[in-house]
Amino acid sequence: MVDVTEAGELPDQSCLWRLKRFLISEFNTWSRLEAMKATGKQLPKVYVTRRIPPEGMKMLQESGICEIEQWDSDDPVPRAELLKKVSGIQGLYCLLTENINEEVLKAAGPSLKVVSTMSVGYDHLSLDALKKRGIRLGYTPDVLTEAVAELTVALLLATSRRLIEAVDEAKNGGWGTWKPLWMCGNGLTQSTVGILGLGRIGVAIAKRLKPFGVKKFLYTDIDRRPELAATISAEFVSLDVLAQQSDFITVCCALTPETQGICDKRLFSKMKNNAVFINTSRGAVVNQEDLYQALVNGQIAAAGLDVTVPEPLPVDHPLLKLKNCVILPHIASATVETRNAMAALAAKNLLAGLKGEALPKEVPL
Ligand SMILES: O=C(O)C(=O)CO
């Protein structure tokens, strides 16, 4: 006899097959744990490099399949401590602030099976070193797309409409009277927006900007992305054309050897004098010295950065002194829901890796 669902419909075969697979996997995990207990074997050790949002920690603790040690602080674990603590672990739960390289993997030793980073970016990990050792890597795409897009739009508007400068003027007595030529910025209506690196986040940004009256979206990337581009009617162009034609450029690419320093004086010199440059991806895609010169010399109008090199940017850094540069402390994904979702997805990746199952979101190495 076939059972029926609550809605009174027959469950389809794929649903039953997934349920069967889930039950088998749960049973296997349970029997593995029972066998470990019976033989007095220790549970696999996991090291969590920071205090993380509660959803993620709860998931790890309630799994019952690992012994967790954590650097229980909001500040990064000192390198020496990290190198000591990773010894003999099977799973590493890390953040984008930790450089997980040959040194760390060597210190961990051959037991390490899975590294799970609570971030969509994975430029802080040495992929070659992971691959060489057959260590799997989990990351957290998708769950932060909306939050990052939202913050990018907020940063773009704050930069182009000079919000931070204006708030300062209102507070410090610079607000004399209403003046026709004072605090004028650049509007989005009828503008051209260029996206450097079109992926999920670029599309989400474009969808949010469209209602502001943007006339045209351009994008550039190593390859054309016709399907994604079609969703926002974006036109593929070269980096030079993107620079020449855009009123706003928003950088959304991953940091790779190809994109490192791609936003340099060559690019800024081709941009319009009234253009606004926004970066919410990684600081190292920008040559900050070149950006500083472009802002000081009026080669471009303004820049909004959520990411810099280094992070934090020293408080005496020249970019922080410029009125036409808005700098945020890497908060693009910082909503409570998003950070919890990132923490939970990173936990799921880690647990799946410990069980030898497919990671929900795995970086192919
Ligand atoms: O997940 C990432 O890579 C981030 O930069 C967090 O905002």
- Domains of the chain, by residue range, sit at 15-139+338-363, 144-327
Distance of CA 119 from the midpoint of ligand 1 (Å): 5
The DSSP result for 159-196, as a single string, is HHTTHHHHHHHHHHT---S--TTTT-----TT-EEEEE
Alpha-carbon span 6 to 209, nearest angstrom: 42
What is the DSSP code (8-state) at residue 362? B
Cα(15) to centroid of ligand 1, in Å? 34
Alpha carbons 252 and 201: distance in angstroms, whole number: 7
Q: What is the pLDDT of residue 46?
A: 98
How confident is the model at residue 28, as a pLDDT? 53
Start-to-end C-alpha separation, the chain: 45
The residue with greater pLDDT, 42 or 220, is: 220
Pairing status of strand 91-94 against strand 114-117: parallel
Residue 332 near ligand 1, beta carbon < 6 Å = yes
Ligand 1 pocket mutation, candidates 116, 139, 148, 251, criterion most atoms within 8 A of CB? 148
Distances (CA, A) of 84 to 88, 160, 350: 10, 47, 20
Q: What is the pLDDT of residue 219?
A: 98
What CATH superfamily classification does 144-327 receive? Answer: NAD(P)-binding Rossmann-like Domain (3.40.50.720)
Average pLDDT score over residue span 256-280: 98
Q: Which atom of ligand 1 is nearest to the CA of 281?
A: 5
Q: Which atom of ligand 1 approaches the CA of 119 most closely?
A: 1
Q: Which of 43, 46, 92, 52 is nearest to 69 (CA)?
A: 46
Q: Percent of the chain having pLDDT more than 70?
A: 89
> Are 346 and 120 within 8 A, CB to CB?
no
Looking at the chain, how many residues does it have?
365
Query: Same topology for domains 15-139+338-363 and 144-327, yes or no?
Result: yes
Catalytic residues: 330
Q: Does the pLDDT at position 291 exceed 80?
A: yes
pLDDT at position 33: 55
229 neighbors 257 (Cβ within 8 angstroms)? no
Q: Where are the beta strands (DSSP E) in the chain?
A: 45-48, 67-70, 91-94, 114-117, 136-138, 192-196, 216-220, 234-236, 248-251, 276-279, 302-305, 325-327
Q: Give the span between the Cα atoms of 220 and 200, in whole angstroms.
A: 14
Instruction: Provide the token pair at 156.
Output: 């773009």
* pLDDT of residue 5 exceeding 50: no
* pLDDT exceeds cutoff 70 at 2: no
Percent of the chain with pLDDT over 90: 88
Cα 120 to ligand 1 centre (Å)? 5
Q: Which long-range contacts (CB under 8 A, 24 or more apart) does 140-145 make?
A: 140/341, 140/342, 140/345, 140/346, 140/349, 140/361, 141/200, 141/361, 142/200, 142/361, 143/338, 143/341, 143/342, 143/345, 144/120, 144/332, 144/333, 144/338, 144/341, 144/342, 145/200, 145/201, 145/204
> Does the beta carbon of 252 lie inside 6 Å of ligand 1?
no
- In this prediction, residue 4 carries a pLDDT of 36
pLDDT of residue 14: 61
- The confidence band for 9, taking pLDDT boundaries of 50, 70 and 90, is very low
Candidate ranges 16-20, 37-41, 290-294; pick with highest mean pLDDT:
290-294
Q: In what order do the strands lie in the sheet with 192-196?
A: 234-236, 216-220, 192-196, 248-251, 276-279, 302-305, 325-327
pLDDT digits (tens, 9 = 90+) for 348-357: 999 999 999 9
Question: Does 251 score more than 50 pLDDT?
Answer: yes
* Section 103-125 average pLDDT: 98
Q: Which atom of ligand 1 is nearest to the CA of 342?
A: 1
What's the rounded mean pLDDT across residues 215-243? 98
29 lines ligand 1 (CB under 6 A): no
Nearest partner of 242 among 256, 231, 252, judged by Cα? 252
Of 241, 200, 201, 199, give the one whose Cα is nearest residue 218: 241
Question: Residues 115-119: what's their mean pLDDT?
Answer: 98
What does the pLDDT read at residue 350?
98
* 3-class DSSP assignment, residue 55: helix
Q: How far is the CA of 121 from the centre of ligand 1 (A)?
A: 6
pLDDT at res. 61: 96
ipTM of the complex: 0.98
Supply the pLDDT for residue 3.
37
Q: How far is CA 103 from the centre of its chain?
A: 24
Pairwise CA distance, residues 81 & 84, whole Å:
5
Mean pLDDT of 288-306: 98
| Residue of 39 and 356 predicted with greater confidence | 356
Task: Look at 31-45, 71-85, 250-264 and tell me which has the smallest mean pLDDT.
Answer: 31-45
pLDDT at 306: 98
Cα(291) to centroid(ligand 1), Å: 22
333 lines ligand 1 (CB under 6 A): yes
Q: 152 in ligand 1 pocket by Cβ < 6 Å?
A: no
Domain 15-139+338-363 has what CATH class? alpha beta
pLDDT tens, residue by residue, 169-208 = 999 999 999 999 999 999 999 999 999 999 999 999 999 9
The mean pLDDT of 350-365, rounded to a whole number, is 97
**Distance separating alpha carbons of residues 172 and 166, to the nearest angstrom:** 10
Place of tokens 């605090």: 183
Confidence of residue 300 (pLDDT cuts 50, 70, 90): very high
